[in-house]
Structure 1
Amino acid sequence: MGKLSDVISNNHHENVEELKELLRIPSISSLSEHKEDIQKAASWIAGKLKNIGMEHVKIVQTNGHPIIYADWLHQENAPTVLVYGHYDVQPVDPVHLWETPPFEPTIRDEKIFARGATDDKGQTFLHIKAVETLLKVEGKLPVNVKFCIEGEEEIGSPHLPQFLSENKEKLSCDVVVISDSDMWDRGIPAITYSLRGLCALEFSLKTAKSDLHSGMFGGGVQNANHLLVQLLSTLHDANGKVNVDHFYDDVVDLTEFEKEQIKALGFNEEKLKQSLGLTELTGGENNFPYPEKISSRPTLEINGLWGGFQGEGTKTVIPNEAHAKITCRLVHNQNPEKIQQSIKKHLEEHAPKGCTLKVTLGDTGNPFLTPIDSPMIQKAAEAYQNIYGKAPVYKREGGSIPIVSDFNQSLNAPVVLMGFGLPDENLHAPNEHFNLENFDKGILTICSFLELVQK
């Protein structure tokens, strides 16, 4: 990797300046006033892919924001790697908390500060630079490479599943590589091999035809808020276990190797409690250690509840309506739609007498898992070892990226999450940044991975 390393190092300043160009584009997918900026970012990515030697570069317009496709397919009988990333970013509010403007990339303390620096423009850019460097030095790539870069990840990728379904042959590959995650710590790479899925529900209880005077009717009629609390209390038992029939039917227990991996990561309970301002860590299932609970166990959370008078002071009414929002984080092998139906049935069966219940089903996203012993996972681990001098840790992520499962299922290919961000880089928050110590190393690691996939 010596020659590749030299070229990457020599081009460091130029590469960072190019990244700044992309970061200056305010491609906020959730705000309609940035629609032209989304198109500008898509054009920038497409132009860069053409310039580095990728072929069949196309900006695919959808009913939302565009998807960029490109490929280089000149290695006969060699594996094909599909790179996925996204060029859209989160809104920047609250702007006053940014030390420098979010779309004026600034380097401080060997970090580049800008919205999208780590999520996900910076990390996607590493793959573009890896391919460019290999083509520049070797005149070819060790494997076939395809790019699929979208502009709607931050709003749930509503149009990408259809694109995957309609373009299975064009996107066919032996592995999907995504850099939209983080390392374990500075100098300690990590491979995220599992993501939790999710499902959401909302429900309301209604009693009388209007709110009632608590003096005239108190003690004699049903209070919707009381009934809501009563119903919510049936969802968990005293030990924090979800008390819904069939909720755990499809949960697969961790292997002993996975449990050892979690233990090896190290966990400082006192440090976490102090950082969160808590005196106890007692959420969820009490008979599981905290690191397992937040990554490997399913949850049912009450995200919001309201009913009755919400204003300042007192209003002596008995509310006739009460509402709650629920989301679940789901683990490998659980089906989000099946869980939704189980919870809906539980609510209907446990609804108190004297009220009308209405349940509305919300968004769903499938969980994802690539086995640690997957050959592609192991090649990624070897690439990290080659460049960082340390074997990566393997971790399950408590969050959800539903599109990862869509790639896995639509293309029937393993997905490898090779992150180069750090956990404290403020993604989705003010002062988002990317540590430049992982910029050149990230490019070189991707080069190493592409060469290892060939073998």
Structure 2
Amino acid sequence: MSSSAERDFVHAHLDDLHADLDAWLRIPSISADPAHADDVAASAEWLAAALRRVGFPTVEVWPTPGAPAVFAEWPSADAGAPTALVYGHHDVQPVDPPELWTHPAFEPTLVEGPDGPELHARGACDDKGNIAFHLLAIRAHLAATGRDTPAVTVKLLVEGEEESGSPHFADLLTAQADRLRCDVVVVSDTGMAAPDTPSVVTAMRGLADAEITLRGPAVDLHSGSFGGAVPNPLHALATLLAGLHDAEGRVTLPGFYDRVRPLTDRERDLMGRVPFDEAAWLAGPAASRVATGETGYSTLERVGARPTAEVNGMWGGYSGPGHKTIVPAEAHAKITFRLVADQVPADLGDQVRAWVAAHLPEGIEADVHVPAGGVSPCASDLDHPAMDVLLGSIARAFDTTPDRVLFTREGGSGPEADLADVLGAPLLFLGAGLPTDRIHSPDERVLLPMLYRCAEATAHLWRDLAAVPFPAR
């Protein structure tokens, strides 16, 4: 391995990173659970104090109608220096079911794994680990360059509701647009393909959801007296959902693919360069027997670059012990749709309602609820000069060359499109997560060497972004 002043500083101060994570990860900042509102607020205050401790001259906790966000700014002393805004979140997913955790979810535990030391805790990767490495990165940047201020103005916006759908984030961006003005957004809520495969996320899918209720008889009926003679809403729902995809794995909503931007040959080639062992993926993070999906696309393309529809839950009738012989009055289902470039979440309402209406049997009524908003898809500009700088920064941290840093796509969704739309700045993605980190699952972990490398890469990034000719704003 080669060395650099940035790397030397990072490795000389790993205990600081470990101590920060140990303290922060003990705060159960579960935004989805109102009982943890005080914990989410405490998490914001912890981060604010940590940012002040490392030297940020401006640190503020911004209230929202929900959970608080944290804003920080460290201006560069260099006239005309560009501004980079780091985005992430400090809230975490619920831990249920707690009995499936090997160690308590909010007691950070060091485990020696096959790829190096791992830290297990809820939020270790998603997303506190991805924010904590920035605390070390800016110190490494200043120490390596001998500067008193960063080479670029660095801002951070770390929200507290990402795991609850970021319901107030777009309004916060709009209200604080002047304070958040920047030349580039660095998203630290993603990851890389593998520990030995440096890579850059270039796109994230959007999200829309729907809840469907089918109603048949006005009350539950005795199945012996009425079964076979009146419509059963659970039967109708099962038939409806069975037709959500056709034989080729394509979503059957009318107009669903009308706006989908086709993958270019270049994009497919770039995704095809990412090493992927499907058998290991199935046996490991996917925990599934076979891979399936839309015909004509690879598994990586299906989970990162193609739109999808998934039934998240369906219920109705009786599900208690024993049996209750009824024709139920109602049946329910929740569905989510992942969207890709050029799709619009607002389109899904009419599409779902038209699909349900076209397949509704006689005697069954439907209520379709598609919440307003949703999450828009987003993508990076592969040809932006800031992308070249990012590739170079990651390459240095991984002891490789920029041409060996691969491009991937993130199948999940977040508010990154709002950042790009409201702030009008290009998106870069730099995160330490891995597909094997079990985010949103029991035993979430982060591979600590990934945090070390991302801290170093960020220190390089702050130096080299200063030379990018961003257009005047």
Give TM class, smaller chain: over 0.9
Aligned to 2:87: 84
Three-state SS of the structure 1 residue aligned to 2:370 is strand
Stretches of 4+ moved more than 6 A in 1? none
Three-state SS of the structure 2 residue aligned to 1:365 is coil
Answering whether residue 430 of structure 2 is matched by residue 418 of structure 1, we say: yes
Counterparts of 1:12-411 in structure 2, within 5 Å, are: 12-73=14-75, 74-109=77-112, 110-136=117-143, 137-275=146-284, 278-282=288-292, 284-362=293-371, 364-390=374-400, 391-401=404-414, 403-411=415-423
Structure 1 residues 235 and 154, CA, compared in 2 at 3 Å: closer, same or farther?
Answer: closer
* 1:189–1:392 contact (8 Å) kept in structure 2: yes
Aligned to 1:11: 13
Unaligned runs of 5+ in 1: none
The superposition leaves residues 66-123 of structure 1 with CA deviations (integer Å, 9 ceiling, x where unpaired) of 2111212233211100011222222333334434333333333222233222221121
Quick one: which amino acid aligns to residue 334 of structure 1? Q
The superposition leaves residues 376-429 of structure 1 with CA deviations (integer Å, 9 ceiling, x where unpaired) of 22221111112212332111111111x111111110111111111222223223
Quick one: which amino acid aligns to residue 24 of structure 2? L
1:274 Cα offset (Å):
4.4
Structure 1 residues 164 and 229, CA, compared in 2 at 3 Å: closer, same or farther?
Answer: same
* 1:372–1:394 contact (8 Å) kept in structure 2: no
2:123 and 2:239 map into 1 onto residues whose CA distance is 44
Question: Number of residues paired by the alignment?
Answer: 453
Three-state SS of the structure 1 residue aligned to 2:387 is helix
* 2:308–2:337 contact (8 Å) kept in structure 1: yes
Q: TM-score, normalised by structure 2?
A: 0.89
Three-state SS of the structure 2 residue aligned to 1:232 is helix
Structure 1 residues 253 and 125, CA, compared in 2 at 3 Å: closer, same or farther?
Answer: same
Structure 1 residues 272 and 40, CA, compared in 2 at 3 Å: closer, same or farther?
Answer: closer
Three-state SS of the structure 1 residue aligned to 2:80 is coil
Structure 1 residues 302 and 101, CA, compared in 2 at 3 Å: closer, same or farther?
Answer: closer
Quick one: which amino acid aligns to residue 251 of structure 1? V
Quick one: which amino acid aligns to residue 418 of structure 1? L
Aligned to 1:451: 463
1:309 and 1:25 map into 2 onto residues whose CA distance is 39
1:147 and 1:112 map into 2 onto residues whose CA distance is 24
> What percentage of residue pairs aligned between the two structures are identical?
37
* 2:430–2:454 contact (8 Å) kept in structure 1: no
Quick one: which amino acid aligns to residue 39 of structure 1? A
1:49 Cα offset (Å):
1.8
Unaligned runs of 5+ in 2: 468-473
Aligned to 1:434: 446
What's the Cα RMSD here? Answer: 2.2
Q: Say which is worse superposed, 95-104 or 328-337, in terms of deviation.
A: 95-104
1:27 and 1:140 map into 2 onto residues whose CA distance is 31
